[in-house]
Structures are given as C-alpha cells and as structure tokens.
C-alpha cells in the first residue's frame, strides 16, 4: 500500500504515509500545528479520518511510524506483539475496529484478552475517529486491576493520589496536607510527593516520613517520592522504605533519553523495587507519568503526531506491569494543548488508549495558569473520566499545587465524583476509612463523618 487518498466534494486529498495520515486525522491541537504535522483545514482532517478508517489493522504491523532499527520503543512494540490475541480483530479495518469496540461483543473479558494483540498505533488510530461519547463508552467497559497493598481499578471504584507537595519539602506542611487529604478519604492510590529538591538525603527523609505515617495508622496504601528512577535505585540501596518506583516516560527512545532513561534503566528500577518485597497483596510497583507533547518538547517526535507518541509510551508502561500510570494531561502547557476543549479531548483519548492496551490508567486533570482553560473545564473532564471508569485522579489541597504551580483536582473534587457517580475507594482503604470513622457508606454512596475522628485529634493538635 503506497499512500492513502480520500475525496470530499470533488477534491481529492492524498497522504504519502501512515505517519502523515495519522497526524492529519488527529483532532486539532496546538502541539501538532507547532510541529508542522497537523491538517491544514477541517476538510483535510475529515479526509484523513475517512482514509484512516479504511486502513486494515494488519497494515500497522508492516509500516512502523518510527523505524525498528533506530528506536527501542518500536522494537518493544513489534517484538512483544501477541498475534494470537490479535486474531479476533485481525481482519478488520480501523473503522471496523471502532464498530466492534462499540458493539456488545466487546465486553470486559474480550477486551482484556485483546489488549496484548493491539499496538499503540492501532489504539491511537481508532481513537482519532471516535467521538467523546465513544471514548467514554468503550473505556468504561474495560477494567485493569493492579495490586500492591490494596487493589486498584475495580468496577465502581475510583482512587486518588494524595499529593501533599510543599515548596520547601517542610515536614509539618506535608503532614498537614496528608492529614487533610485522609480526612476527605483521599490517598488510596498512594501518598505521593513531588520533591522540591533532588537531594538524595531529602528524598530518603520524605520516604521515611511517609512510611512512618502509613505504619503508625496502619493505612492500606503505598508511598512514592517522584524522583528519577536512578535516585530511587540509590535510595533502595541505602535502605530507604521505598514502595513505588517512579519515572516519567515517553513514546520514543530519544524522548526517553531526554528524561535520562532507557528500557534497560527502567528494568533495573523495576528489579530493585521487586527486591524490596514491600507489597502485601501484589507486586505491581512501578508508577509512570506521561503527557501529550513530551516528545515534541524534546524534539524527539520523528514527525509523529503527539497523541500517537503519547500512546506509544503506554507500551513502555505496559512492559513493566505498573501499579499506576497517569497522563498529566494539561501540565505541559498551551503550546501542546491550547485550551479546555483540547485538554478534555486529550484526557479522554489518553484514558481510552491506555485502558485498551491493558494499562491501569489515571489522570492528573489539570491545566497551567497561562492556558485558555479554567476549573469548569476540569469539572467536565473529571465527570467524564469518572463515568469512563478512571482508575485514579489527584487529590491536592484546594486544587492549587503550591510547589509545581498548576491547577488540578482537590480533595473536595474527589468527594464530588464519588458522591455524584456512586464511586467508592479501593476496598481495603474503604474498610480502613470506616474503621477510622472518616467516611461512611450509605445508599451505596460515600459520606464524610460529621466530626473529627478521635484517632486524628492528637495528630491535629501536634500540627497546630
């Protein structure tokens, strides 16, 4: 197959490669325009989407968007592809896959079996021709369940990462945020700090602090300090109580190199985490963050559109059996996702594609202060992702991260989503919340306790 074409109103649009038709079929976003790969008009975009819909899925196994010889992510995708899992849909086109996904045959069991048979490029392609409601409908069918000290991803559950960041890593400030978050039922995905410094001593101190809180109150959760994977390895070597190993990842070898990582370094981090044997229910222990635009910002996108580059990162994540993955969807800035409309669409695409590939996906529902977005946009994305079955979101005091200086979801936002959509915390954490008299269940919905639980009165007195 050499090139693709589609005619609209007497005009024929031609696309020279799979890379080009994929890029021009993408819904409009500022990053692709910045990269010079976006469709020049709405008509060209529709023509590309129609051409893409007619491409057989098998073709994605024959034409690599980034050459196999020069990119280890491409090699991982091709070498790990499960042809037996792919067989049930191997006769379909991209448009045919969309129809199949929307049908009754695509249920939780069949979608779980299909995941290793799909490449990221197939998932990205079908997402480009789906409406918002399609992305929500299919994603809510899929459950990706992981375990460490509790269970993530079960149907009817939505977890939160309690993110108690502080601009100087002050222990009292972090402890106050942790207490505040716990009292709103946040923290079952993890207690996770973005450190203000890369000092290994500071990182170890934060890990010891979080572990002490978890142990003192017997909280069925896990901790993470979001430092570079090599720092996590060194912290483990120093005996620090490290639960989850973190790393930002991207969808090309060159973009990952800009983060200072490779597949072999990630493997070393994974093995170091396993050596700790700190999980009580399972050994899913990697935590990855991704985001559309990271490859472009590193000048490492190879002419591939940003959403497809993002989806390729999920192949990297999937390889290491992570406990949690999330797209920091609006964090990279308006150069890549210009406004609320683009951020909402991107968040739903990322969630859909990751779940389709068998990745336990969450979302940092966020925006920077110079983007054309506001909290109303985030409320819409939060609600849509809650309906779509998101594994976890962020929980931050007042939705304003005072260390990273961006806007995201608050402890109250998580409570809103749980109350409105009838979602519950992870089962082990839910039982702990009930035992601590923090939250209670009534009519299948989450309700806050009417007064401060006794177990925390002493802790609050110490902080004040």
HEC letters along 330-378: CCCCCCCCCEHHHHHHHHHHHHHHHHHCCCCEEEECCECCCCECCHHHH
DSSP letters, 152-201, are: E--TTB-EEEE----TT--HHHHHHHHHHHHHTT--SSEEEE--S---HH
The chain-wide mean pLDDT, for the chain, equals 95
**Ranges of residues in the chain whose predicted pLDDT is under 50:** none
HSE-CB of 295 using CA atoms within 13 angstroms: 24
H or E element that contains 30: helix 30-35
Distance, C-alpha 176 to centroid of its chain: 27
Which pLDDT score, from 0 to 100, does residue 437 have? 86
Distance, C-alpha 311 to centroid of its chain: 10
Which pLDDT score, from 0 to 100, does residue 440 have? 75
Backbone dihedral angles phi then psi of residue 151, each to the nearest 5 degrees: -115, 120
Which pLDDT score, from 0 to 100, does residue 402 have? 87
Alpha carbons 222 and 150: distance in angstroms, whole number: 8
Q: Dig out the tokens for 314 from the structure.
A: 């999920």
Residues 31, 338 contacting (CB under 8 angstroms): no
- Nearest CA to 26 out of 56, 3, 46, 6 is that of 46
Alpha carbons 71 and 392: distance in angstroms, whole number: 31
Q: How far apart are the first and last CA of the chain?
A: 69
Alpha carbons 276 and 433: distance in angstroms, whole number: 27
Alpha carbons 160 and 395: distance in angstroms, whole number: 6
Question: Percent of the chain at pLDDT above 70?
Answer: 96
Distances in whole angstroms, Cα of residue 400 to Cα of each of 59, 172, 176, 273, 374: 45, 18, 15, 31, 12
Distance, C-alpha 91 to centroid of its chain: 30
Which pLDDT score, from 0 to 100, does residue 459 have? 65
Which pLDDT score, from 0 to 100, does residue 199 have? 94
Which pLDDT score, from 0 to 100, does residue 115 have? 98
Beta bridge partners of 325: 288, 361
- Nearest CA to 76 out of 362, 348, 357 is that of 357
Backbone dihedral angles phi then psi of residue 340, each to the nearest 5 degrees: -60, -40
Which pLDDT score, from 0 to 100, does residue 244 have? 98
Residues 294, 335 contacting (CB under 8 angstroms): no
Maximum Cα–Cα distance across the chain? 75
């Amino acid at each position: 197959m050499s090139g693709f074409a589609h005619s609209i109103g007497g005009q024929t649009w031609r696309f020279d490669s799979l890379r080009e038709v994929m890029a021009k079929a993408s819904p409009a976003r500022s990053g692709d325009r910045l990269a010079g790969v976006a469709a020049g008009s709405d008509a060209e975009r529709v023509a590309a989407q129609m051409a893409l819909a007619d491409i057989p899925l098998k073709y994605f196994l024959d034409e690599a968007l980034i050459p196999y010889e020069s990119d280890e992510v491409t090699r991982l995708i091709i070498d790990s592809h499960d042809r037996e899992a792919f067989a049930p849909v191997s006769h379909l086109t991209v448009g045919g896959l969309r129809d199949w996904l929307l049908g009754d045959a695509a249920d939780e069991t069949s979608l779980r079996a299909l995941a290793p048979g799909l490449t990221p490029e197939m998932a990205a392609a079908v997402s480009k021709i789906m409406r918002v409601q399609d992305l929500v409908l299919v994603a809510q069918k899929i459950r990706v369940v992981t375990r460490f000290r509790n269970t993530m991803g079960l149907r009817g559950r939505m977890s939160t990462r309690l993110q108690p960041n502080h601009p100087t890593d002050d222990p009292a400030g972090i402890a106050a945020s942790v207490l505040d978050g716990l009292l709103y039922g946040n923290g079952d995905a993890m207690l996770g700090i973005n450190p203000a410094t890369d000092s290994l001593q500071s990182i170890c101190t934060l890990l010891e602090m979080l572990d002490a809180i978890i142990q003192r109150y017997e909280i069925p959760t896990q901790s993470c300090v979001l430092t570079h994977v090599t720092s996590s390895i060194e912290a483990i070597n120093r005996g620090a109580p490290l639960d989850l190993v973190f790393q930002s990842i991207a969808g090309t070898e060159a973009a990952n190199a800009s983060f200072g990582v490779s597949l072999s370094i990630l493997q070393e981090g994974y093995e170091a985490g396993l050596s700790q044997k700190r999980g009580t229910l399972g050994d899913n222990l990697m935590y990855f963050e991704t985001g559309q635009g990271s490859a472009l910002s590193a000048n490492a996108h190879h002419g591939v559109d940003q959403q497809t580059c993002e989806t390729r990162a999920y192949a990297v994540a999937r390889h290491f059996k992570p406990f949690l993955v999330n797209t920091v969807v609006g964090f990279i800035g308006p150069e890549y996702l210009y406004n609320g409309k683009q951020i909402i669409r991107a968040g739903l695409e990322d969630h859909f594609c990751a779940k389709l590939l068998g990745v336990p996906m969450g979302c940092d529902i966020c925006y920077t202060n110079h983007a054309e977005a506001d909290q109303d946009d985030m409320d819409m994305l939060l609600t849509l992702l809650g309906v779509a079955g998101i594994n976890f979101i962020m929980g931050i005091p007042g939705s304003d991260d005072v260390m990273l200086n961006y806007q995201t979801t608050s402890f109250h936002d998580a409570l809103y989503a749980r109350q409105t959509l009838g979602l519950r915390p992870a089962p082990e954490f839910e039982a702990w919340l009930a035992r601590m008299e923090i939250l209670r269940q009534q009519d299948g919905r989450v309700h806050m306790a009417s007064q401060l639980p006794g177990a925390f009165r002493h802790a609050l007195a110490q902080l004040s």
